[in-house]
Structure 1
Amino acid sequence: MQQLLGLEPLTAFETIRDNFILYLKTAYRTRFKQLENEKDQLLKSPGPLFKPPYVELLPKYADSKFYLNGLGARELPELKGRIEEFKTLVEGHLFSGNNKLYAHQFKMLQQALAGRNCLITSGTGSGKTESFMLPLMASLVRESRHWPAADQPDPEQLTWFQDENANEDARISQRKHEEKGRPAAMRAMIVYPMNALVEDQLARLRKALDDTALWKKYEETFAGNRFYFGRYTGNTAVAGKQLEKSEKKTRKKKENLDYDENKGKKNLASLKKMAGAYRDLQKFLRMKQENEIPIRDDEVQ
């Protein structure tokens, strides 16, 4: 694979294809020359084995003139007094301070911090993740200036659950030491159309927000306060008491009874309506037979 990195895309594609075909021909070789020629033609024809490559030409995205580690109060006035804390949080794991921000990333950061609603669309490799993640982190840092210092965490906070005899009463909340004065709220929600898209970004978030090397910085920079995140999918357990099987069966049976009762009421109403219509039709035909009303024969189908 290392040898392919220096090749242009089409040559790399042809090299991979030819090597794979060579493997198949070696593993399944026969002594019949005509059969081998036909097999060779089939393997080299676009079809089940490979498709022609699609090459997407990407534009060079415009750079801003700013590096992340070079930003100051002039560029980000809304972060005045907390810019260094912002850099501490995002440099390294989320964004390299030695790389220039793209123009759209820098503009997004400025506009979002100014309180504007922002929407960004750009191609592959344009740094869309950083475009919304940097303003999000900046917003958290800006808000954190108003949070009071957290107490020291309980020494057994990360070990209580290792006790085999631990029960619900022994549980120590990981945020218990932050409870005084810090408003409880969800600050942001990131929605993804599929789980695969979040895996890479989830790993980066873990490194940026929960790296053990950062714990000391949290103590020094954010007075012991930390930022938390979670992932919720269709498999995430819901809040509340989990029903036992017997309770589920009882509830299901009641739901079925309620459904049958409602269905029966609807059917009864339909039957009554049909009976009324039938009586009206009988009365109408009887009146016609007795010549009580003038009517043409073609009016009753």
Structure 2
Amino acid sequence: MNPYILAEKVEEKYLQYLKTMFYFKDDGLRRSFEETLDAGHLSNGPYLEATPIFKRAKNTTELFTETLGVEPEQGFMQAVEGERQLYCHQENSIRFTALGKNVVIATGTGSGKTEAFLLPILLHLYKEFVSGQLGNGIRALILYPMNALAFDQRERLGEICRKLEAYHSRFRFTFGQYVGDTPEDRNDQYRNAREAWDNRLPGELVFREQMRATPPHILLTNYSMLEFMLLRPHDSPLFDNGNAQWWKFIVLDEAHQYRGTKGMEMGMLLRRLKQRLSEGGRRDGFQCIATSATLASDSKDVGRVAQFAQDLFGETFEPEHIIRGKFEELTGESRYTLLLEDYKLLESARPNSVTELKVKLSSLASQHGIDLAEARKWEEAIYITVVWQIFMFFFKNWLKRPANPEVWTDLTTVPA
């Protein structure tokens, strides 16, 4: 992956969005707006952050087999990439939820928090399928602070449903995204019903009318829409007349956002939801899952996080069920110090060829006892340079409009 090209693509997409969303009818004003955007002051960077490597555990097939007592259907395992090794925190989440525990998944960005709550939900649905109990009805509610996050989840669920069909699995599930833009029915032109129907994903219910008639197994929404759904009589089929008996999971994504007044409002909303579901036929308790990349930055925080989650959901959370990431231990020297002359060399470097770039970088690396020839790919060499503090100058000077663009399209090897 070329970070320079990636940053350019992100900026290009953002520019396109701004020009589309803020289209001025006046030619002069529109031209002035576009010229200002094209002046190149929209973004800085790219900036890289070296993230830790999370420890791996069992693969999904092994863990599901252990939890179920029998090996799951092959098509189901292929759809959820059963051979992929889970992270330790994902395995812990599946184990704890299988025991009926409420959990907080407090791991960093890009750590697979979505799989950590989605796989337990799919495992529960599969259990019901095997026992012949998987009929219509909501089993899991996933609340997002923004519709964009719910839309991303929608695509992920659609892909799993597509794979279930492709691998001829007998297990199927349904899902629906109920937000402000969700059309009422096929005739809802205001909310672009035709487009929603044409772009529907495998397993997806796209109309509110559908979701009331045959509630999906997984419901995606936001807290504002949930508030409306609890108030509107025509949404009562989602909660009342025995339809609530299947509800089990309440998932709150980005839970750290619900603090102070906003947290009190969410806490009251969740209590109203649970009361409504209890009145609508739910006899057993609820299983609550919260995710956050920032709630528990240290092991000393788990008690406080457990209390926060307990106050938010009104359910019991134990400190041992606050799941934090476990990292691989990095070996080798912990720090490299560059001299003033090294920075001057990097700052003055303006390579016009791949060979020159590699020589410059390898020469400096060798002075610090690092052999970049051991790196199997150029990306690994870049990672090594990040470790010893080169990246600030590397991206400032070499990734900023290099004289020869081919320098960045052929970085696949390092000199022997």
TM-score, normalized by length of structure 2?
0.33
Query: RCO (CA 8 Å, sep 6+): is it higher in 1 or 2?
Result: 2
- Higher strand fraction (1 or 2): 2
